[in-house]
Amino acid sequence: MTWQLPQWIGIIGSISHSPDAKSLAVEGMNRAGDSVVAATLDIETGRFTRIASFVGSDPPRITWLEDGSRLAIFREPQGASVLYRIRPGRRTQRLGTLPR
């Protein structure tokens, strides 16, 4: 099966499967290349849902956690790699800066 990327995703940097294997967490860059976007993809329907957007770049990793939240890593404009927790229906939480 081939899925079409929505207009708000230019490239995909990382993918992680959900605990129930019905969805994928996707982290990539928008088409302008100035923001990181995080989304879910329903494997059965091919529908992408945007769950977060951040000013930044270089999205190397997104991970789907057992509690349904996602852990996203990317580089902020000032150059620091950061870790965010994205939880459905709740505010996105910046967890901190990763050491170099």
Q: What are the pLDDT digits (tens) for 32-83? A: 999 999 999 999 999 999 999 999 999 989 999 888 899 999 999 888 999 9
Report if residue 1 sits inside a domain. Answer: no
H/E stretch holding 56 reads: none
Report if residue 89 sits inside a domain. Answer: yes
Report if residue 5 sits inside a domain. Answer: no
Check whether 99 has a pLDDT greater than 80: no
Q: What is the dihedral of CA 16, 19, 23, 28, to 10 degrees?
A: -20
Check whether 95 has a pLDDT greater than 90: yes
For the domain that residue 27 is a member of, what is the CATH number? Answer: 2.40.10
Give the global pTM.
Answer: 0.88
Tokens matching residue 66: 């057992």
Q: Which of 71, 92, 79 is nearest to 27 (CA)?
A: 71
Q: What's the domain range around 15? A: 11-97
Rg of the Cα trace of the chain? 13
Give the model's pLDDT for residue 98.
86
Report if residue 4 sits inside a domain. Answer: no
- At 49 the three-state DSSP class reads strand
Report if residue 78 sits inside a domain. Answer: yes
Give the model's pLDDT for residue 79.
87
The count of domains in the chain is 1
